Amino acid sequence: MSAVAGTHAQDHHHGPARGISRWLLTTNHKDIGSMYLIFSFTMFLLGGTMAMVIRAELFQPGLQIVQPEFFNQMTTMHGLIMVFGAVMPAFVGLANWMIPLMIGAPDMALPRMNNWSFWLLPCAFLILVSTLFMEGGAPNFGWTFYAPLSTTYGPPSTTFFIFAIHIMGVSSIMGAINVIATVLNMRAPGMTLMKMPMFVWTWLITAFLLIAVMPVLAGVVTMMLMDINFGTSFFNAAGGGDPVLFQHVFWFFGHPEVYIMILPAFGAISQIIPAFSRKRLFGYASMVYATGAIALLSFLVWAHHMFTVGVPLAGQLFFMYATLLIAVPTGVKVFNWVATMFRGSLTFEAPMLFAIAFVILFSIGGFSGLMLAIAPADFQYHDTYFVVAHFHYVLVPGAIFGIFASAYFWLPKWTGYMYDETLAKTHFWLSFVGMNLAFFPMHFLGLAGMPRRIPDYALQFADFNMVSSIGAFMFGATQLLFLLIVVKCARGGVKAPAKPWEGAEGLEWTVPSPAPYHTFTTPPDVK
Amino acid sequence: MRVHAQRVGALSGGLLFPALSMADWTVNMTPGVTGTSNDIFDLHMTIFWICVAIGAVVFGIMFWSIFAHRKSQGAKPANFHENTMVEVLWTLIPLVILVIMAIPATATLIDMYDTTESDIDIKVTGYQWKWQYEYINEDFGYFSNLTTPSDQIRNRQTKGENYLLEVDNPMVIPVGKKVRFLLTANDVIHSWWVPDFGVKKDAIPGFINEAWTRVDKPGTYRGQCTELCGKDHGFMPVVVKAVPEEEYNTWVADQKAAAEKERELTQKDWTMDELMERGEKAYATACAACHQVNGNGVPPAFPALRGSAIATGDIAAHIDVVVNGVSGTAMQAFGGQLNEADLAAIITYERNAWGNKMGDMVTPKEIFDYKNQQ
């Protein structure tokens, strides 16, 4: 997977257009990747601000800062923005930047659609965020928007929310088609599927998941739209409809969705750990198969989100067994990462720190997931803070730390400069401590009986909530440091060589840093 | 083991945050007071220790690598990157562990689903934002509302011991009897949870879910609604009193007598002042959560009643809205929830409070006739 010739032959190509039209009209995968990443970080800060409002209200028992109506809008918008605005676009951004570079392609297969799929996103989120200023407020029914709370009882802005979801879905599907078309058609000669970097593999599988489930999400919000505006009763029991149908359809989308948010991170971590262990990834083939197995199983477990809705016993057992089964391929991945580190030659730059934290903390999220899979026990855990702790452990040190690790790993390639390692390590440690302080006590709160999505709580939950809020403030404030590090790195510093990491492998390190505007116009030869 | 774990948690909590250590640092699930809750607790602890054991091995190897295989210590990378034997082993071993874990989980689940041969059936209906308990074999039922004063919630008063976990009318069940719950909802989805019983089940409009419990220890057990159900989701607690059977029987007799007395209220002749007085109280429990005590509502979801077209308009239309609700909105049909006396009192109150000076009144008898006409 090495050896390329003559990247300087590409220098004579024209550079980017000038001014705003460069960004509006660009079809360049690097520009679009950067826009995705910047958009994602903006949304991360916005969704994070909402999390700060939530944690501020929960700092003490009683209602201090916001009213319950607004609190519910904050939890809903925080979830929607983080899932659809921060995590998913960040991975699409990474895919745009890195997949062509990793497989030796000159660009994405469908560059104009690429532009379109990006620019839909700001439109969608403008609509979504504008609901905050509408009469009756923003969506207030949780990011899972269960009917009939979101239909018959939803605020007037729900229709705008549905429209925003539709646009996001279109954007995601186009992004996914682009990834599949690129990976299947544009690999450099000699790069067989089983020679592809893990990041490309996990994204290929993610893209299939996206194409499979985003239409399901579109379907469920369309049914809502009909119920709200055109007098149907899909989810209205009074009209012969079925509120539980909503949950089945939603979670048929929702469960693969959580893997959509984590598989690309698995891929990135599988690039980073070998690089800083100076040792090849252990069990490459089993990593590929495990990813595929996780993706397939993700279609068979949706009702584990619904253990308390009254699923019949046989269904309950099936979904419990299928869910437990997911632990097996997930375990294989973790064991492979540890085996990669074992007897390597380790150094601990920021990407590696985030990657190690990813493995440990994601595993903790996986363990609580295993506990939640035990259906009888889930009757106690369900809809408590234990669940909040669980999915924040898989999403924050999982997806988000995976994104940070990737960002630090490839920043030198993107900007041509090394980032400030001391600041980056500070960012890591503050994030690590803040994140654990914020989310670990939530396990205790949930086990002690605190339901999720409440603006006020009984007195026995007061202390851990205060600890959790302090941790959350710490984590939130720390992210401004990341902004500083990236801006600083983009503006200059120590020049980065083509391959700044001693143990890194792959085609992306064969082009200069920063990567020229056009790369691999002649395909490299992969041995 | 459980007490031990709690102590360790409390101790480390106390060391880290001495100023706060007077408080409750519960870190684990309650074993509860029923067979089911104890089974769940055992499953919970088993899977927890399995996770701890796996974590100790995996993270142990990882930390060993971090410690011993550092480049700064002169570690040279090994060359291995594949081993089918190892891959097969670490696929099969977890699989075996999961099968072992699934066996007791299946047994507990089958037991939890066995709702047959109950001694008492109670229908639990979720409303925004209160619970209704109907003892369907005894022909009476009532609503259970939060009693924590608004002043405590808004920090104008010291919070009480059972802050947010106290209600006017708790559910009462006898100890030692199998109680079956039939759960449904009137508006949106709610979820009825008592951690000490290990019972949590969603209350869904159009569905009747079943759950059961058998409590052996008398006491008061508290829980909360656990499915987001709108604005006051955090303010609809569940309180269940388990009492000895004799006490339960006396209570049932009292409830039946009280229900009979309520029915008599309909026939009584009411004065305006009596209706206004009763109306103010009934309004506070049934209406104020949405329309607010001052009648200003929270528009647009919950319109104001002060000076509203309905409260100051035709009385028949007003009765219709309150009794039958407004479909497609959050306005519930209160005809089935409240007795005639309360309905009449509330409508009269709404027409004459907060400057709505209509001067007219409606009597319980009129409401009774109105309902029968439909």
CATH number for the domain harbouring residue B91: 1.10.287.90
Question: pLDDT value at position A67?
Answer: 94
Task: Indicate the pTM of the whole model.
Answer: 0.90
Identity of the amino acid at A62: G
Give yes or no for residue A430 having a pLDDT over 50: yes
Average pLDDT of span B141-164: 92
**B325 part of a folded domain:** yes
DSSP state of A187: P
Instruction: Show the DSSP H helices in chain B as ranges.
Output: 2-16, 35-68, 84-112, 150-153, 245-265, 272-286, 288-291, 315-324, 340-352, 364-373
Q: Are A93 and A506 in contact (CB under 8 A)?
A: no
Contacts of A62 in chain B (CB under 8 A): 152-155, 159
Contacts of A380 in chain B (CB under 8 A): 29, 37, 40, 44, 195, 198, 200
**B25 part of a folded domain:** no
Show the domain range for B187: 120-261
Question: Which neighbouring-strand residues pair with B183?
Answer: B124, B209
Give the Å distances, CA to CA, from B373 to B326, B340, B365, B368: 19, 14, 12, 9
Give yes or no for residue A11 having a pLDDT over 60: no
Show the domain range for A358: 8-42+78-426+494-510
User: What are the tens digits of pLDDT across the range B285-314?
Assistant: 888 888 998 898 888 778 899 888 888 888
Whole-angstrom distance, CA of residue B322 vs CA of residue B335: 7
Give yes or no for residue A4 having a pLDDT over 60: no
Whole-angstrom distance, CA of residue A96 vs CA of residue A34: 8
Residue B195 contacts A where some CB pair is shorter than 8 Å: yes
Closest alpha carbon to A427 in A474, A472, A359, A469: A474
Average pLDDT of span B216-244: 96
- 3-state class (DSSP) for residue A173: helix
Nearest-CA distance from B296 to chain A in Å? 15
Tell me which of B235, B261, B287 is where a domain ends. Answer: B261
For residues B236 and B307, state if they share a domain. no
Average pLDDT of span A449-459: 96
Question: pLDDT value at position B2?
Answer: 45
Please judge whether A456 and B164 are an interchain contact, meaning their C-beta atoms are less than 8 angstroms apart.
yes
**B5 part of a folded domain:** no
Please judge whether B105 and A375 are an interchain contact, meaning their C-beta atoms are less than 8 angstroms apart.
yes
Residue whose tokens read 């007490």 = B3
Give the Å distances, CA to CA, from B109 to A446, B42, B102, B200, B201: 21, 13, 10, 13, 13
Taking each helix axis from N to C end, the angle separating A350-373 and A401-415, rounded to the nearest 10 degrees, works out to 150
For residues B212 and B305, state if they share a domain. no
Q: Are A347 and B139 in contact (CB under 8 A)?
A: no
**B324 part of a folded domain:** yes
Taking each helix axis from N to C end, the angle separating A350-373 and A385-394, rounded to the nearest 10 degrees, works out to 140
Give yes or no for residue B174 having a pLDDT over 60: yes
Q: What is the CATH number of the domain that holds A400?
A: 1.20.210.10
Give yes or no for residue B153 having a pLDDT over 90: yes
Ranges B40-44, B272-276, B299-303: which has the least confidence:
B299-303
* Confidence band for B335, pLDDT divided at 50, 70 and 90: confident
User: What are the tens digits of pLDDT across the range A379-395?
Assistant: 999 999 999 999 999 99
Contacts of A61 in chain B (CB under 8 A): 159, 163-164
For residues B129 and B70, state if they share a domain. no
Whole-angstrom distance, CA of residue A393 vs CA of residue A172: 24
* Confidence band for B23, pLDDT divided at 50, 70 and 90: low
Tell me which of B112, B142, B161 is where a domain ends. Answer: B112
For residues B253 and B278, state if they share a domain. no
**A93 part of a folded domain:** yes
Question: pLDDT value at position B333?
Answer: 86
For residues B186 and B149, state if they share a domain. yes
Residue B112 contacts A where some CB pair is shorter than 8 Å: yes
Closest alpha carbon to A87 in A54, A123, A48, A116: A48
The pLDDT mean for chain A works out to 95
Closest alpha carbon to B331 in B287, B285, B280: B287
Please judge whether B204 and A377 are an interchain contact, meaning their C-beta atoms are less than 8 angstroms apart.
no
Q: Mutate which of A224, A244, A383 to test chain B, going by most B C-beta atoms within 10 A?
A: A383
**B23 part of a folded domain:** no
For residues B87 and B169, state if they share a domain. no
Instruction: Spell out the long-range contacts of A107-110 with Cβ–Cβ below 8 A and sequence spacing 24 or more.
Output: A107/A27, A107/A28, A107/A29, A107/A518, A108/A29, A108/A32, A108/A178, A108/A179, A108/A181, A108/A182, A109/A178, A109/A181, A109/A182, A109/A185, A109/A186, A110/A174, A110/A177, A110/A178, A110/A181, A110/A182
**B60 part of a folded domain:** yes
Closest alpha carbon to B324 in B315, B333, B332: B333
**A523 part of a folded domain:** no
Please judge whether B159 and A328 are an interchain contact, meaning their C-beta atoms are less than 8 angstroms apart.
no
**Residue A116, Ramachandran bin (φ over 0: left; ψ between -120 and 50: alpha; else beta):** alpha
A291 φ, ψ (degrees, to nearest 5):
-60, -45
Residue whose tokens read 């090495």 = A2
Contacts of B233 in chain A (CB under 8 A): 68, 72, 451, 453-454
User: What are the tens digits of pLDDT across the range A212-244?
Assistant: 999 999 999 999 999 999 999 999 998 999 999
Residue whose tokens read 């026995």 = A460
**B16 part of a folded domain:** no
Residue B161 contacts A where some CB pair is shorter than 8 Å: yes
Our count of domains for chain B comes to 3
User: What are the tens digits of pLDDT across the range A81-122?
Assistant: 999 999 999 999 999 999 999 999 999 999 999 999 999 999
The pLDDT mean for chain B works out to 89
User: What are the tens digits of pLDDT across the range A246-294?
Assistant: 999 999 999 999 999 999 999 999 999 999 999 999 999 999 999 999 9
For residues B239 and B124, state if they share a domain. yes
Q: Mutate which of B39, B42, B228 to test chain A, going by most A C-beta atoms within 10 A?
A: B228
Our count of domains for chain A comes to 1
Q: Which residues of A participate in catalysis according to the annotation? A: 78, 107, 143, 171-172, 255, 257, 259, 270, 304-305, 330, 333, 452
Give yes or no for residue B20 having a pLDDT over 80: no
Give yes or no for residue B3 having a pLDDT over 60: no
